Structure 1
Amino acid sequence: MTFVVPVVDISPYVTGTGDRAAVAAAMDAACREVGFVQVVGHGVDPALARGLGAAMDAFFALPPERKAAWRTAPEVNRGYSPPRSESLSLSLGVESASRMNDFFEAFNVGAAQSDYPHAPGLPQPDYAENTWPDVPGFRGAVEAWFAEAARVARALTRVFADALGLPVDFFDRMTGHSLDVLRMNNYALPPGSVELDGELTGMGEHTDYGIVTVLWADQVPGLQILAPDGGWRDVSPADGALLVNLGDVTTRLTNERWRSTLHRVKPPVVDGTVLRRRSAAFFHDGDVDAVVSVLPGCLAPGEDPKYLPVTVGEHVAAKLRGSRAGVVNTAADREAARVLAARG
């Protein structure tokens, strides 16, 4: 069955006109019930998405040895990641059948120290400078999309603030030098580059790490989210929509009033061939030194916080050690329990 993800039109927060209260109420309902939202009215020019897709195609079509030249160390969340070099399930502390078994290849760029001259001395490699492949037009197209995705993410945090009854600048206070990363994913690999079998995992079960994720994706099956009934449901974006989902930082802030929804990718295989699928996820994670603790307004009388305070940097580092370095994250027990329940 096809799982229905709520559609929310955020144009009042983009254009400055319209019923913001209605948008905030719709967002609150979507975040309480699903954790994934199809966002329209975002104002992104479709030409930018086409440019991003063309840039991704040009890079991922390169021979493996050329792409490998832009591979970085696991602790540097930049550059190229080849197939089976990561395991997203380990970011939740859940072992996969093969520890580094995720099928996708990716290229990451992010906000660097040079993007935040007002905040000198930011820790490395959190704010590493980007490495750009020598593919004509790649950098321009990717930077254009990065800027627009960042704009949409910041508009969404204003929606979130209203929906949660917070000051309008609440999220601005924790995103002055936000750990923002754009991850471009490719699931269509050349013949012979991966062994196809019944356990093929495009991207293992995981939650995203930060405040909010803005996702552009092909309208091709593969993305699945864990529905409230405990089953995995297929998700595909509607025409012109961006898929938006919550990250762990927002879950911790709201004490699970809003939950970072577990999701995975199971690429469709037809006659032994993986159908082409691309996506680009923009992660708006927050300042590395921002302290994440449960909001008082999200605690019912007598209710205790489900999470201890943690900085964004500490939280993201633990997740990345799992996904990119194969070190099981032991601080994600609540999320891991949801994965294991779904597998059961």
Structure 2
Amino acid sequence: MASVSVGTVQTPGDLKSTTELRLSSGNGPVSRTILKAPLRDALPSEIPVIDISGIFSVSEDDRMDVARQIRDAATNNGFFYIKNHGIPANVPEAACEELLRFFRQPREIKDRANISRSKYFNGYKPPKSQRINPFESVDVRETFSWTYDPRLDPSVPDPVAVPPHIARYLRCEDFHWEATANLPRFKESVVRYWRACLAVARALVRSFALSLDLPEDFFAEKFTHPDAALALNYYPPLTTPPASAEEGGSEVSIGSHTDFQLFTILWQDSNGGLQVLNRQGQWINAKPIPGTFVVNIADYMQRITNDRYVSTIHRAQNYSGKERISMPFFFGFNLNESCGVLDSCVTKGEEKKYDEISCEEWVQRRARAMHQVGESSGN
């Protein structure tokens, strides 16, 4: 059962009771006050749909227009949808189809790609093996994930010639592809999806730079071999319905959390289940919108922007009664890189809130906590 400590607190003005949500972060456990209000769909003002076709334009005005919209969303709830992104619909759909084939296989076949064979966090993660929030239930999901591999990156002309100071941080393995060879289109479909997201992410980084009043190529040297990981999630339907719309259920498909690096690009199927905690402390649905991806700000981006851009808490609860697939693509700087708070995000009289920390140290700190699935002291 999720260990959200509940107290009836009267908040001034709206007189709504609240709960306290605890979750892990890069700086240790934190708490958030949550309104016990009914779950509702997000308003366009909370999670806007941004047409990003302008990021590919030769017109600086077009690119700046997209950057302004991204800034508005990033400083609000830190979530937005993107449309006209250039990824054909059949690319994520084909990946989703292959994932369903993989996850519907008997456990002994899936276990050929089990994470226990990995030196890192690549491969298949079976049921009850992930607990992204130590203060909530074990995640009700299975995952197939893998990390950046320059051999699959079209922008790397010679993967063998990757500079040693970068190569030492790469976490390339092949066992998970060998273990899925019984599905002849699996690797091809998944890698095609990853490459499509990678291309959009590299374009979006330029927009993020513009949105922060920086030159478009300001971050270029920091993502030559990026921390670009894919987590392919399979969520069976939750069996325990929520006690009420206000309080939610005891099970989570994936627990309340924030993401690690710069931003995430997410494709979700039509069944829904993604929930975002808005600035007022209310859970809202980020419903699937055909033809779009969801983008959200992650922790490292919040750090380097001195909290200008918001890394927002989110979770998933699959009460659709159907299998659900989500395919988050996590994007960040090379793991050999580091970045401090950007000068453009510190106004006169302000102080930089965060020390510089390497991307590798930050990601490892978060990843270790995510893969600890033992019983929490809060349960």
User: Does TM, normalized by the shorter one, top 0.5?
Assistant: yes
Give the corresponding residue for 1:265. Answer: 316
Give the corresponding residue for 1:333. Answer: none
Give the corresponding residue for 2:208. Answer: 160
Contact 2:143/2:233 (<8 A) preserved: yes
Give the corresponding residue for 1:200. Answer: 251
1:149 to 191, 197, 215: 197
When normalised by structure 2's length, the TM-score is 0.78
Output one character per residue of 1:151-187: Cα deviation in whole Å (capped at 9) or x when no partner: 1111111111111111211222211111111111011
Give the corresponding residue for 2:142. Answer: 105
Give the corresponding residue for 2:234. Answer: 186
Contact 1:87/1:204 (<8 A) preserved: yes
Correspondence list, 1:1-344, <5 A: 1-4=40-43, 5-17=47-59, 19-73=62-116, 76-89=120-133, 95-98=134-137, 101-112=138-149, 114=151, 116-121=159-164, 122=166, 126-130=170-174, 131-132=176-177, 133-134=180-181, 135-188=183-236, 196=240, 198-268=249-319, 274-326=321-373
Q: 1:21 & 1:195 partners in 2: Cα distance?
A: 46
- Which runs of 5 or more structure 1 residues have no equivalent in the other structure? 90-94, 329-339
Contact 2:274/2:287 (<8 A) preserved: yes
Q: 1:66 & 1:86 partners in 2: Cα distance?
A: 20
Q: 2:151 & 2:196 partners in 1: Cα distance?
A: 19
Output one character per residue of 1:221-274: Cα deviation in whole Å (capped at 9) or x when no partner: 3110110111111111312011111111111110110011111011116xxxx4
Q: Which moved more, 1:129-138 or 1:33-42?
A: 129-138
Q: 1:212 & 1:78 partners in 2: Cα distance?
A: 20
Give the SS at the match of 1:53. helix
Q: Which moved more, 1:65-74 or 1:160-169?
A: 65-74
Give the SS at the match of 1:168. coil
Contact 1:77/1:126 (<8 A) preserved: no
Q: 2:192 & 2:259 partners in 1: Cα distance?
A: 23
Q: 2:232 & 2:136 partners in 1: Cα distance?
A: 25
Contact 2:115/2:124 (<8 A) preserved: yes
Q: 1:254 & 1:87 partners in 2: Cα distance?
A: 28
Change (3 A) 1:97 1:12: closer
The letter for the 2-side match of 1:14 is F
Alpha-carbon distance, 1:213 to partner: 0.8
Q: 1:208 & 1:112 partners in 2: Cα distance?
A: 20
Once superposed, what is the RMSD of the aligned Cα atoms? Answer: 2.2
Q: Which moved more, 1:60-69 or 1:11-20?
A: 11-20
Q: 2:234 & 2:374 partners in 1: Cα distance?
A: 24
Q: 2:93 & 2:239 partners in 1: Cα distance?
A: 30
The letter for the 2-side match of 1:226 is L
Contact 1:75/1:125 (<8 A) preserved: no
Q: 1:7 & 1:261 partners in 2: Cα distance?
A: 17
Q: 2:338 & 2:184 partners in 1: Cα distance?
A: 40
Q: 1:210 & 1:264 partners in 2: Cα distance?
A: 17
Contact 1:250/1:260 (<8 A) preserved: yes
Q: Which moved more, 1:241-250 or 1:108-117?
A: 108-117
Contact 2:236/2:324 (<8 A) preserved: yes
Change (3 A) 1:309 1:39: same
